[in-house]
Structure 1
Amino acid sequence: MIWLAPDPTAWPSVGTGQSDNSSSLGTFPPEDSLPPSQLPLLVNPWDIVLCSSGTLIACENALVVLVIWQNPALRAPMFLLIGSLALADLLAGLGLVLHFICAYLLHSDSAQLLTVGLVVASFSASVFSLLAITIDRYLSLYYALTYNSERTAAFTYTMLIMLWGLSLCLGLLPVTGVNCLSEEVTCSVVRPLTKNNIAVLSVSFLLLFGLMLQLYVQICKIVMRHAHQIALQHHFLAATPHYVTTRKGVSTLAIILGTFAACWMPFTVYSLIADYTYPPLYTYATLVPATYNSVINPVIYAFRNQEIQKALWLVCCGCVPTSVAQRARTPSDV
């Protein structure tokens, strides 16, 4: 795939068995000079995996965007942020598919820059949207009495404008000249992004993850404090259903943060320590799990939400099951 740095050991030089450091992806030795076991594949299987992930991401998140867009009842700040996350992941999925098409059909540097820029901007918007959702959840608990005010809506729109503006700027960097097409030695593990460019993205992710971790710790403290106060008022015991659901809510927050870290941390750390000389296999092995985060996001943030579940049932079959309509909101939905 042409957006990954070339593997200098991918193909042995003819007649010598030594690697050719000047080779690049898409340029192979003559097929008649290689044994059948060393003939290059027409399509990289890893690229097929990424394209398949992109297709699944696009379809899954398109459903969420459609439901939120068509349902006037889903206009609260929380749903706007979930919609922003779904839109970002939708564009990321489309970016992966378009890059696959451009890489194997167009062979154009301009198309490569545009599709990589789209992927960078989309995944950046996805991560920023996750942070915005975390901030919104924290504020909804900390300022519970004044959360549903016009001030909250204005703050949400401000966050949306800022996160999409910053993401667009990051995505435009490769297109505006911050790339390594003219100087291969400056490439990172993801071509045509430079080492400095991807280092900034990786450090930014680590900072955002640290902020999200701190906010989720504060959310857990607030949830546990509220549960303790309710227990004292009603003389609940530790084994009561309320205590169980509160503990489930805290566990859900841990799963959310753990899933986010498990998907993105390997690629982030690898991007900081590796460069274009590392085998592309390592980049694929860390990049593919990162894309899975966009597959999981709708399940965690959208499909578990009671209001979105109702809207989905209405879209699919024109009715809402009684079990969904009467399900009470619990701390595990936080």
Structure 2
Amino acid sequence: MRGFAYPIWQIVLITVACSIIIFGTIIGNILVCIAVSIVKKLRTPSNLLIVSLAVSDLLVALLVMPFAVSQEVMGRWVLGKTFCDAWTSLDVLLCTASILNLCMISVDRYFVITRPFQYAMKRTPSRMALMIVAVWLGSALISIPPLLGWKTDSSSGYCSVSQDMGYQFYATIGAFYFPLTVMIVIYYRIYMVSSRIAQAEAKSKPAGDCSGGVYTSGGSTPMRKDSHVSSFDHRVDEENHNFPNGAIRKQRDDSTQSMIPKKEHKYFAAFHKKSRLNRISSSKERKATKTLGVIMGAFTACWLPFFILAVIKPVCYHVPDWLSSLFLWLGYANSFLNPIIYARFNRDFRTPFKEILLCRCLGINRRLRSESYAEQYGVGTAGTLRDCIRPPVDTVVRYHSQGQTIVKLGNGETPTNDGTATGNLPPAKL
């Protein structure tokens, strides 16, 4: 029987370290659940999987870790055989659910990246609920067999998961090695797809780029203050807003109205806004993929040592107790790290976490909308926003009226000697 092998200072150190993990896990995962429940922008079908992950991690901290600390400090299990069986099964259930939730999140992210349009129609709350049910059902299938007799009885006085070789093979494959393989393959494919998208974006600048006083339409030919365009077609194709060859559609017209309709300015503003929102959406997807990669890295680093040891222990009986405990708590620490990773790498969670911790839940959605608005346009004031939505574009408009070329913009007309003129298009009204 294992006795009190630790001196008092080590017991204090172990208790403090484990308590930090327990309370940190509880607080972090409660924050995730509260944030999703009160922040409207977080109430998405995909975040149901994150809530399921947070619930499993929270239950690990509430129902599993405290008894593990007790056994670690006391050096033996003092709560009886029946409770030991229930506790170990609960341990396997919740830890496996945490791992399978991570796996399911990676599957969801894969379809979002590779099949955005098809998957968007299928990404409903009911489908997410089915995925969550599959996670918990799979976890139950791995945790229940020892309760039905698939186990080896231990007389050491120490409560641990069944060391039956067949069960260990079944449990480690189902709870770790298979999900890990799926996540590695999926994340590799996500990385390859994201790389191709990034390369494609680098080769062609997005439409309506607002930077450095240059406005590009369609992602190619920029128009600067000194640019001269032979003619300007003020009739925007309402069926296709993508202008060919990166330039505005051109047309000569001997009898054209001298005033450029305001309708075109609205098209410019809407076109630029749409392209900017598309870039922001793409950026958010890449950030979400990066967050998933960090979570996967933390998951592998935390659980791989434990599951390697789980395969070794049934055939090697001389594994030190301290090593088993260290690797077990390293795995538990993954439940502590998940909320921290979301807070560090995902702004959608980081800001609500801060607001909740500061007890500023009232009006949180309004503040988040303001921040999101400023983030979308990269500005903090309406004046700067107006300039970015419709950058001042110097263009040349050629009209033929009684043998003289006249440029007429919203602020007047400017006849020229060479048949051309330059002027600024007025900013679009917001």
Residues 328/126 of structure 1: CA separation in 2 closer, same or farther (3 Å cut) = farther
Residues 264/71 of structure 1: CA separation in 2 closer, same or farther (3 Å cut) = same
Greater RCO structure (CA 8 Å; 6+ sep): 1
What is the match of residue 172 of structure 2?
A: 202
What is the match of residue 299 of structure 1?
A: 340
CA distance in 2, matches of 1:249, 1:163: 21
Residues 101/261 of structure 1: CA separation in 2 closer, same or farther (3 Å cut) = closer
Residues 304/294 of structure 1: CA separation in 2 closer, same or farther (3 Å cut) = same
What is the match of residue 260 of structure 1?
A: 299
2:24–2:336 CA contact under 8 A, matched in 1: yes
Alignment-mate amino acid for residue 173 of structure 2: V
Residues 192/207 of structure 1: CA separation in 2 closer, same or farther (3 Å cut) = closer
Q: How does 1:219-298 map to 2 (within 5 A)?
A: 219-234=190-205, 254-275=293-314, 276-298=317-339
CA distance in 1, matches of 2:87, 2:301: 25
1:179–1:194 CA contact under 8 A, matched in 2: yes
Residues 125/308 of structure 1: CA separation in 2 closer, same or farther (3 Å cut) = same
Measure how far apart 1:73 and its partner are: 4.6
Measure how far apart 1:248 and its partner are: 7.7
State the identity as a percent: 24
Residues 296/207 of structure 1: CA separation in 2 closer, same or farther (3 Å cut) = same
CA distance in 2, matches of 1:39, 1:87: 33
1:71–1:311 CA contact under 8 A, matched in 2: yes
1:84–1:129 CA contact under 8 A, matched in 2: yes
Does 195-204 or 58-67 show the bigger shift? 195-204
Answering whether residue 197 of structure 2 is matched by residue 158 of structure 1, we say: no
TM-score, structure 2 as length reference: 0.57
What is the match of residue 271 of structure 2?
A: none
Alignment-mate amino acid for residue 268 of structure 1: F
1:121–1:167 CA contact under 8 A, matched in 2: yes
Measure how far apart 1:25 and its partner are: 2.5
Q: How does 1:125-204 map to 2 (within 5 A)?
A: 125-150=97-122, 152-181=124-153, 183-184=154-155, 191-196=160-165, 197-204=167-174
Answering whether residue 218 of structure 2 is matched by residue 218 of structure 1, we say: no
Q: How does 1:1-16 map to 2 (within 5 A)?
A: none
Alignment-mate amino acid for residue 203 of structure 1: I
2:342–2:349 CA contact under 8 A, matched in 1: no
CA distance in 2, matches of 1:42, 1:100: 19
Show CA shifts across 1:113-140 (max 9, x none).
Answer: 2222222111100000000110011111
Measure how far apart 1:165 and its partner are: 1.1
The structure with the greater share of residues assigned to helix is 1
Residues 78/150 of structure 1: CA separation in 2 closer, same or farther (3 Å cut) = same
Residues 193/285 of structure 1: CA separation in 2 closer, same or farther (3 Å cut) = same
CA distance in 2, matches of 1:235, 1:56: 43
Alignment-mate amino acid for residue 280 of structure 1: D
CA distance in 2, matches of 1:324, 1:179: 54
CA distance in 2, matches of 1:66, 1:172: 31
What is the match of residue 2 of structure 2?
A: 25
Unaligned regions of 5+ residues in structure 1, if any?
Answer: 1-23, 29-37, 237-241, 330-334
- 3-state secondary structure, aligned to 1:63: helix
Pairwise CA RMSD? 3.6
Residues 297/190 of structure 1: CA separation in 2 closer, same or farther (3 Å cut) = farther
TM-score, structure 1 as length reference: 0.72
Total equivalences in the alignment: 286
1:310–1:325 CA contact under 8 A, matched in 2: no
What is the match of residue 74 of structure 1?
A: 42
1:98–1:115 CA contact under 8 A, matched in 2: no
Measure how far apart 1:232 and its partner are: 2.1
Measure how far apart 1:313 and its partner are: 4.5
Measure how far apart 1:217 and its partner are: 0.7
- 3-state secondary structure, aligned to 1:317: coil
Measure how far apart 1:258 and its partner are: 2.4
